[in-house]
């Protein structure tokens, strides 16, 4: 793996961290980044991070590159991100229903963290899909032999 590719991979991580919290970029601590992102994205973080690692692994470990694998990872990441959206919206709706007795403002403010999780899950799925598209572009640009 070339230095440029490693920098690009960290660039995707930095963009994801910036979407979540700009103060996370001040300290270079990957474990803290992963823990904070997992807490903010919710339950779909784990399959999404596995898909992201699979994308990078398949891009750099094979002699012949398969865009089909990257395409599969991209569409699966988007679907899992949308599943996280549905889970977050269901959680938000349930929070509104249980907190309605405390007034409309209290009910909505109790549901906002779940809505945030929903949107971050979708964003993370899209970032992984963009990562896959970018890897396919880099491979095509370098003129790698493609087997479909």
Burial track 68-77 (b if 16+ CB lie within 10 A, e otherwise): ebbebbbebb
59 in a structural domain: yes
Record the pTM. Answer: 0.72
The Cα–Cα gap between 36 and 41 comes to: 9
Number of domains in the chain: 1
Tens place of pLDDT per residue across the chain (148 aa): 455 555 565 566 556 555 555 555 566 676 776 777 777 788 888 888 888 888 888 887 766 678 888 999 999 999 999 999 999 999 888 888 888 777 878 778 888 888 888 888 899 899 899 989 988 888 887 765 555 4
Parent domain of 105: 42-142
22 falls within a domain: no
Determine the number of helices (DSSP H) and then strands (DSSP E) in the chain: 5, 0
The answer as to whether 10 is a domain residue is no
105 falls within a domain: yes
Domain-embedded: residue 5: no
Q: Would residue 9 count as lying in a domain?
A: no
């Amino acid at each position: 793996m070339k230095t440029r590719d490693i920098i690009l991979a960290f660039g995707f991580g930095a963009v994801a961290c910036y979407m979540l919290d700009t103060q996370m970029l001040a300290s270079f601590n990957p474990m803290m980044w992963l823990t904070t992102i997992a807490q903010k994205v919710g339950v779909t973080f784990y399959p999404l991070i596995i898909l992201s690692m699979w994308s990078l692994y398949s891009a750099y470990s094979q002699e012949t590159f398969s865009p089909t694998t990257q395409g599969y990872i991209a569409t699966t990441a988007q679907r899992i991100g949308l599943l996280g959206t549905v889970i977050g919206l269901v959680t938000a709706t349930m929070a509104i229903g249980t907190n309605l007795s405390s007034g409309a403002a209290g009910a909505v403010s109790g549901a906002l963290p779940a809505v945030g999780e929903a949107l971050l899950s979708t964003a993370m799925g899209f970032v992984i899909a963009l990562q896959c598209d970018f890897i396919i572009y880099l491979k095509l640009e370098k003129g790698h032999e493609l087997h479909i």
